[in-house]
Chain A
Amino acid sequence: MNDRRYGVADDMLRSAAMSDLGALLDVGVLTVDADMVVTGWNDWLERASGRSRREVVGRSIRDVHPPLRHAAIAAIERAVGGSVVVMSQAFHECLIEVRPPAGYEHMARMQQSVRILPLTGEGTKPLGAVAFIQDVTERVSREAELKAAVEAAEAANAAKSSFFTAMSHELRTPIGAVAGYADLLATGVFGPIGEQQLDPLLRIKSVTSHLQSIVNEILALARVSAHREEVELCEVDAVALAEEALVAVEPLAAQKGLEVRRRFSSTPLRLHTDNVKVRQILINLLGNAIKFTERGSIELEVALTNEGRHVAYVVSDTGPGIARNDLSRIFEPFTRVTSRGSPNPGSGIGLALSRELARLLGGDITVTSDVGQGSRFTAVLPR
C-alpha cells in the first residue's frame, strides 16, 4: 500500500529548523495545536505584529491581537481537521491584520498569501496546523497600478474609436455630396459641359472616390477596435477566395508590368470563416504588395499549416522591403515607414485593419522582410 501522507511532522517544528526556514524564506510561521492554541510565532510575525512570542504563545488563536480574520480561523480549523488550505490574497486579503510594509502606507493593511497545512505525528489524527504567511503587498500594489494603466489605456482606446466613428461620418456625408454633384455636373444636368471642364471634373471624381475609400477604411478600423464588427461564418473554399482576390488586383499589377504568381493547386480547401473579411484582407495585402513593388513580381501562396488546423495565405513581393526596426511598427494605424519609399504611400490603415480583421477571425498576420529583400506577409486563419 502506498501510504503517502502529507503535512508536516510536529517534531520538525520543535527543531530550530522551521524557524530558520521561515527567516530564510521571509515568511511568517504560525503553529497551533489541536485545541487551536498558539504553539509557534516566529520572528517575522513578531516584527509584523509588534507582539512578542511570549505574549502570544499559549493563548487561543481567537484571542490573539492583532486579530486573525474570521475566515482565517475557519481555515486553520479545517487544517487541524486534516485539510491543506490555500488563502489567496484576492479572496481574503490577509490572515492577520497588520500594518503594511514601509513604502506602502497607502494600503490599509499588509496583503498576504497563506498556505495552511495539517501537522501530523505518527498517528493519523492531526496534532495541529502550521500556517505559512507571505507578504505580497508589493506585488498587489504593482498589479493594481498595472490594472489602472490597462483601464486607462482601454478608456483612451474607446474614446479614440468613438472620435474616429464620429469624424468619419462627418467626413463621409460632405464627400458623398461632392462626388454626387461632380457626377451630376459631368452628366450635364446643370447645363452643357465643355471639353475643358470635363477633365477637371473627372479628376474631382477620382480624388473623391479615393478619399471615400480611405474614410471607409478608417470607419472599419474604428468598428473593429470598438469590438462592434460582427463576424458571419460560413463554409468557403480557401483557394477560390485566393483566386477571387487575385482577379480583383491583377489589372493594377498589369498597369505596373508586374508578374502575378500563384502558388496553389486548384483542389478546394475547406475553410470555416467570414469570406467577406478574408477577401478584404487578401485584397489589402495584395494591393500593398503591388503598390510598393516597382518591378519584378508578386506572389500568393495558399497552404495548410499547424497540422492542417489553419490555412496560411502568404503574399510575397520583390519590392524594396522593410527595415528590421520598422517591422514592429507597420501594423500600427497611420504608420508609413520610410524604407518602403513609395510615391503613393496611402493612409497607413490597410495593414492595421487587415491584422485586426485576421485576429477577429481567430487568426493573425505576421511579416518577414528586410531592406532589399522584398516582403512576405502571412495571414494564418483557423479552419
Chain B
Amino acid sequence: MSLKLTDAETDALAELFNVGLHRAAASLSEVTGQRIIVDMPKLVICEISEIEQRLADLVGGEIATVHQMFGGSVAGDAVLLLEQDKAAALARLMTGGEAATGGRLDQSAREVLTEIGNIVLGACLSGFGDMLQLPVSFSVPRIHIESLRTILGSLLVETGETQYAVIVATQFRLAALAVDGYLIIALGAKSLGRISDALRSRIP
C-alpha cells in the first residue's frame, strides 16, 4: 500500500505542527524564564526506510533523542532528535549554565532534555487530539545518546503494514544560539491514513 498526502494536506499538517511547536515554545519559555522561538517547520513524509538517507546530510556523529511511543486513534513512535553537542548547549543555556557543564550531557542535562522533548512532542501530537479529534496517549519519555543509525534502527518494526515517517525540521532559538531540531513521527499506513482522512475532512 502506498500513501501520499496531497500538497494541501501536507500544508495543513505542517500548520498543525507549527501550532504545536509554538505552544511548545511558549511552555519552554515559561519553564525556563527565557524567550524561546521556534521556526516555521519544514515537513517531509517518506517511507521509514528512507529516513536515514534524508537525515544523513543534516545530522552527524552522536545524536541525543527523546523517544515517546503514542497510542490511541493513531499510534506510533515520536522522536525529538538533536545533535549531541547542540543538545548540551541547549540544556546549558536553558538552565542558565546549571546543566551540561563543560559540554557533557550529565544526568541533569539528560533530564532537562527529557523534559524539553516531552513538552515538544506532547504539544505537537496533542494537536491531532485537539484539531483532528484523534486523541493520543503517551508512554513515559526516554532519552538516548547514540548514533543516527542505531536510533533509526529502533524505529524499524515488522508490522506487516508499510511504515511511514513524518520528518519535521525546525530550529529552536534562544539567546545567540540556534539549534536544529528534528521531530520524527513514525507510524503505520493505517494511522497515517487516519490523519490524512481527518485533514481532508477539514480542508474546505
| Interface size range of chain A in the complex | 20 to 34
User: Chain B, 71-107, contact with A by CB distance < 8 Å: what is the 0/1 string?
Assistant: 1110100000000000000010011001101100011
Asked if A218 is at the interface of the complex by the 8 Å CB criterion, the answer is no
Q: Are B95 and A2 in contact (CB under 8 A)?
A: no
For residue B143, which residue of chain A has the nearest CB? A86
Asked if A24 is at the interface of the complex by the 8 Å CB criterion, the answer is no
- Which residues of B sit under 8 angstroms from A118, Cβ to Cβ? 137
For residue A85, which residue of chain B has the nearest CB? B118
Interface centre among B106, B111, B139, B191 (most CB of A within 10 A): B111
Q: Are A90 and B95 in contact (CB under 8 A)?
A: yes
Would you give the shortest CB distance from A311 to chain B, in whole angstroms? 17
Asked if A146 is at the interface of the complex by the 8 Å CB criterion, the answer is yes
Cross-interface CB contact of B72 among A5, A146, A150, cutoff 8 Å: A5
Asked if B69 is at the interface of the complex by the 8 Å CB criterion, the answer is yes
Would you give the shortest CB distance from A195 to chain B, in whole angstroms? 61
Q: Are B139 and A90 in contact (CB under 8 A)?
A: no
Asked if B181 is at the interface of the complex by the 8 Å CB criterion, the answer is no
Asked if B126 is at the interface of the complex by the 8 Å CB criterion, the answer is yes
Q: Are B137 and A120 in contact (CB under 8 A)?
A: yes
Given A2-B188, A90-B112, is A124 in contact with B140 using a C-beta cutoff of 8 Å? Answer: no
Given A90-B95, A90-B111, A113-B111, is A82 in contact with B101 using a C-beta cutoff of 8 Å? Answer: no
Q: Are B139 and A3 in contact (CB under 8 A)?
A: no
- Whole-angstrom distance between the alpha carbons of A298 and B73 in the complex? 69
Given A4-B71, A90-B108, A91-B95, is A84 in contact with B139 using a C-beta cutoff of 8 Å? Answer: yes
Asked if B68 is at the interface of the complex by the 8 Å CB criterion, the answer is yes
- Whole-angstrom distance between the alpha carbons of A205 and B68 in the complex? 70
Q: Are A150 and B102 in contact (CB under 8 A)?
A: yes
- Which residues of A sit under 8 angstroms from B133, Cβ to Cβ? none
- Which residues of B sit under 8 angstroms from A89, Cβ to Cβ? 108, 111
Q: Are A91 and B31 in contact (CB under 8 A)?
A: yes
Would you give the shortest CB distance from A121 to chain B, in whole angstroms? 13
Asked if B172 is at the interface of the complex by the 8 Å CB criterion, the answer is no
- Which residues of A sit under 8 angstroms from B101, Cβ to Cβ? 143, 146-147, 150-151
- Whole-angstrom distance between the alpha carbons of A151 and B92 in the complex? 14
User: Chain A, 245-285, contact with B by CB distance < 8 Å: what is the 0/1 string?
Assistant: 00000000000000000000000000000000000000000
- Whole-angstrom distance between the alpha carbons of A75 and B103 in the complex? 29
- Which residues of B sit under 8 angstroms from A157, Cβ to Cβ? none
For residue B31, which residue of chain A has the nearest CB? A91
Q: Are A83 and B122 in contact (CB under 8 A)?
A: yes
Would you give the shortest CB distance from B166 to chain A, in whole angstroms? 17
- Which residues of A sit under 8 angstroms from B122, Cβ to Cβ? 83-84
For residue A136, which residue of chain B has the nearest CB? B107
Asked if B32 is at the interface of the complex by the 8 Å CB criterion, the answer is yes
6 other contacts beyond A3-B72, A86-B140, with CB at 8 A cut-off?
A84-B137, A90-B108, A90-B112, A143-B99, A147-B101, A150-B101
Mark B residues whose CB is within 8 Å of A: 31-32, 68-73, 75, 91, 94-95, 98-99, 101-102, 106-109, 111-112, 114-115, 118, 122, 126, 135, 137-141, 188, 190-191
Mark A residues whose CB is within 8 Å of B: 1-7, 71, 82-92, 113, 115, 117-118, 120, 124, 136, 139-140, 143, 146-147, 150-151
Report 9 cross-chain contacts, Cβ distance below 8 Å, ordered by A residue: A2-B71, A2-B75, A5-B71, A6-B138, A71-B31, A83-B126, A85-B118, A115-B140, A120-B137
